[in-house]
Amino acid sequence: MKILITGGAGFIGSALIRYIMSNSQDTVINIDKLTYAGNLQNLDSVSSNPRYFFRKIDICNKAALTNVFREFRPDRVMHLAAESHVDKSIDGPDEFIKTNILGTYALLEVSKEYIKSLDKDSKENFRFHHISTDEVYGDLGFTNLLFTEESSYSPSSPYSASKASSDHLVRAWHRTFNLPILITNCSNNYGPFHFPEKLIPITILNALKGQNIPVYGKGDQIRDWLYVDDHASALYKVIKDGAIGETYNIGGNNEIKNIDIVTSICNYLDKAMPISKNNYLLDGKSTIKSYKDLITFVNDRPGHDLRYAIDASKINVELGWEPRYDFQTGIEKTIKWYLNNLEWVENINNESYKNYRHQE
Ligand code: NAD
């Protein structure tokens, strides 16, 4: 297959490309604008593979997208490019509206025109897979409910509202124009190459540097965490075997409170990198006894959802997918990766990293 992936230089997109390169003979065309969150270093391990191609393109640019479709003639589109950080969407929603809504619209239009040029077999073979989030469903609050594919949409933040809008556009292009689409809505991901503006990498890195570890409110928010390689395997399963027009929820069945995540990372680091041996600690903070002493509760995010949780039984029953990593295994792999790749973090030297040391 020739798979065109948008946003392949980001956290999940790069994991997906590494997964496809290792587990198939498919060709990948990665198109990415390389915003602050896009990093070609995430793809060093595949960049010289003759089955991998990269084009620096903004998905809002229809002419550039059309040229790439003409050049590579993809069988599949996997659309991950997005602005993805909730805090940033509260501070400045513009880019979220542009990329997540107008960019998705541009990609849908270009795909719609492209398939008109295909012969019957290629047309039947083509798929457009839109990668979305469980945040479109809103807040489960203090309930035991789970999000299913039938849950109604009730997004809370500019980020989740822009993703919800893009999901609606994708469904409308299926219903109205017969575009052969698939949608996946996934829970919170974690793992290597996660940009250090999100909860887990911030906690690891701030701890190692002896800096305060910010936790919103009391840290009571509950998320369902999925190791990023499990998300990649689910996405590949869906693009290969998913049924046209269907939505699949993807989750790790790992509901954990933010404060428990932060505490478990600190506990692990206390053993793996005892403070007395941590040469990375800055400005005299080495007087602390445990990394937990760095936890600092900060004012909660406006509109912060309390709980998300996914029912992933449909993708399990219909496509036979299940996650490989439990949270303990995944988080240990992630922490070890950061300990061994501090250079990757040091190479990220942009304003966004400095300004957005928040969460999720
Ligand atoms: P990310 O922010 O790490 O990466 C986004 C990528 O998109 C970057 O490489 C960036 O350069 C690129 N991009 C942004 N605007 C672009 C534009 N206009 N044109 C082309 N490229 C552009 O995000 P991520 O965490 O890897 O998330 C990928 C997708 O998965 C997003 O659609 C997100 O909504 C969805 N998702 C993420 C999570 C999560 O926990 N991170 C969970 C569920 C779903």
- State the distance from the centre of ligand 1 to the C-alpha of 289, rounded, in angstroms: 37
What's residue 354's pLDDT? 57
| Cα 277 to Cα 285: distance, rounded to the nearest angstrom | 13
What's residue 182's pLDDT? 98
Instruction: Give yes or no: 159 in active site.
Output: yes
pLDDT tens digits along 125-155: 999 999 999 999 999 998 999 999 999 999 9
Hey, which of 80, 235, 256 would you mutate to test ligand 1's pocket, going by the most ligand atoms within 8 Å of its Cβ? 80
| Cα 182 to Cα 205: distance, rounded to the nearest angstrom | 36
How long a stretch of residues is the chain? Answer: 360
Q: Are 198 and 225 in contact (CB under 8 A)?
A: no
| Cα 171 to Cα 165: distance, rounded to the nearest angstrom | 10
Give, in order, the Cα–Cα distances in Å from 7 to each of 75, 103, 169, 247, 301. Answer: 17, 11, 19, 20, 26
Q: Which residues line ligand 1 (CB under 6 A)?
A: 6-7, 9-13, 32-35, 37-38, 58-60, 80-84, 99, 103, 131, 133, 163, 186, 188-189, 195
> Which run of H or E residues covers position 28?
strand 27-32
Side chain identity, residue 341? N
- State the distance from the centre of ligand 1 to the C-alpha of 85, rounded, in angstroms: 9
Helices 104-116/62-72 angle, 10° precision: 40
Hey, which of 6, 11, 77 would you mutate to test ligand 1's pocket, going by the most ligand atoms within 8 Å of its Cβ? 11
- Residue 346 confidence class, pLDDT cut points 50, 70, 90: confident
Structure-derived torsion over alpha carbons of residues 234, 260, 329, 17, reported in degrees to the nearest 10:
40
Indicate the pTM of the whole model. 0.96
What's residue 349's pLDDT? 65
Q: Angle at the Cα of 167 (from 253 to 57), degrees rounded to 5?
A: 105
Please state the atom number of ligand 1 nearest to the C-alpha of residue 38: 9
Name the catalytic one among 114, 159, 291, 325: 159
Of 118-122, 165-169, 247-251, 303-307, least confident by mean pLDDT is: 303-307
- Residue 352 confidence class, pLDDT cut points 50, 70, 90: low
Please state the atom number of ligand 1 nearest to the C-alpha of residue 99: 18
> Which run of H or E residues covers position 248?
strand 247-250
Please state the atom number of ligand 1 nearest to the C-alpha of residue 14: 26
Q: Are 325 and 247 in contact (CB under 8 A)?
A: no
pLDDT tens digits along 221-260: 999 999 999 999 999 999 999 999 999 999 999 999 999 9
Find the radius of gyration of the CA atoms of the chain. 20
Place of tokens 């290597």: 192
- State the distance from the centre of ligand 1 to the C-alpha of 271, rounded, in angstroms: 33
Q: Are 70 and 42 in contact (CB under 8 A)?
A: no
Instruction: Give yes or no: 135 in active site.
Output: yes
Listing DSSP states for 298-321 in one string gives: EPPPTT---B--B--HHHHHHH--
Closest CA to 327 of 257, 272, 269: 257
| Cα 302 to Cα 87: distance, rounded to the nearest angstrom | 9
Please state the atom number of ligand 1 nearest to the C-alpha of residue 84: 2
| Cα 100 to Cα 84: distance, rounded to the nearest angstrom | 9
Closest CA to 255 of 307, 192, 180: 307
Name the catalytic one among 83, 87, 135, 167: 135
- Please state, rounded to an integer, the average pLDDT across all residues of the chain: 94
Hey, which of 5, 6, 12, 95 would you mutate to test ligand 1's pocket, going by the most ligand atoms within 8 Å of its Cβ? 12
- Burial class of residue 194 in the structure, from the number of CB atoms within 10 Å of its CB (0-12 exposed, 13-18 middle, 19+ buried): buried
Average pLDDT over residues 254-277: 95
Name the catalytic one among 32, 83, 87, 134: 134
Largest separation between any pair of C-alpha atoms in the chain:
70
DSSP structure class, residue 18: H
